[in-house]
């Protein structure tokens, strides 16, 4: 059976896991920036401007699971234990705290679509929900995201 673009699974969880592994292999601290909505389970008092940045390093988390649908772990916020659950499609970026190198992703209400920080600009990898639209129409503006440095 051949899958078309609408049926193929998202590459986002695989890219997040790869960046996490890259960070840990090089003793960097992996952070994820998350666009918070009702589907994101985080302590709301730490959300700023509808976003939260989470340290997902081994030292900062317990029971970390980087799944295809969710990032789940236990962490302490202000000394209180919390269960964290972030839908993969709400992750805006994963990057190393020490140097800012990482990847950013578009955030939508749909779990599909991935953008990767490339050589000089963001390169679209896949977005099955995006219509072809008018090629002369400017792209939609992106929300402010953490500053990322390209990976060489």
The domain that holds 106 is classified in CATH as 2.30.30.220
Mean pLDDT on 56-63: 95
Name the nearest CA neighbour of 100 among 20, 28, 35: 28
Q: Which residues of 111-135 are buried (b: 16+ CB within 10 A; e: fewer)?
A: bbbbbbbeeeebeebbbeeeeeeee
Distance (Å, rounded) from C-alpha 75 to C-alpha 63?
Answer: 9
Residue 147 included in any domain = no
Residue 81 included in any domain = yes
Q: Give the model's pLDDT for residue 9.
A: 83
Number of structural domains (the chain) is 1
Residue 112 included in any domain = yes
Q: Are 90 and 72 in contact (CB under 8 A)?
A: no
The DSSP line for the chain is: ----TTTSPPSHHHHHHHHHHHHHHTT--EEEEEE--TT-BS-GGG-BTTEEEEE-STTT-EEEEE-SSEEEEEEEETTEEEEEEEEGGGEEEEEETTT-BEEE----SSS--EEEE-SSSEEEEE-TT-----TTSPPPPPPP----B---
Residue 140 included in any domain = no
* Domain extent for 113: 12-126
Share of the chain above pLDDT 70, in %: 66
Q: Which residue has the higher pLDDT, 45 or 120?
A: 45
Residue 134 included in any domain = no
Residue 85 included in any domain = yes
Residue 149 included in any domain = no
Average pLDDT, the chain: 78
Q: Give the model's pLDDT for residue 7.
A: 66
pLDDT tens track for 70-123: 999 999 998 999 999 999 999 999 999 999 999 999 986 554 444 444 323 333
Name the nearest CA neighbour of 31 among 50, 11, 51: 51
Q: Which residue has the higher pLDDT, 37 or 9?
A: 37
Residue 111 included in any domain = yes
């Amino acid at each position: 059976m051949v899958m078309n673009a609408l049926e193929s699974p998202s590459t986002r969880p695989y890219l997040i896991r790869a960046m996490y592994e890259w960070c840990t292999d090089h003793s960097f601290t992996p952070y994820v920036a998350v666009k918070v909505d009702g589907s994101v389970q985080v302590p709301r008092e730490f959300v700023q401007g509808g976003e939260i940045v989470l340290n997902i390093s081994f030292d900062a988390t317990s029971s970390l699971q980087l799944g295809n649908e969710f990032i789940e772990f236990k962490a302490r916020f202000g000394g209180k234990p919390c269960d964290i659950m972030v839908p993969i499609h709400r992750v805006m970026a994963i990057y190393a705290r020490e140097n800012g190198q990482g990847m950013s992703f578009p955030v939508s209400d749909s779990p599909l679509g991935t953008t990767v920080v490339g050589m000089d600009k963001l390169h679209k990898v896949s977005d099955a929900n995006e219509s072809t639209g008018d090629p002369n129409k400017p792209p939609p503006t992106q929300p402010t995201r953490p500053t990322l440095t390209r990976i060489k």
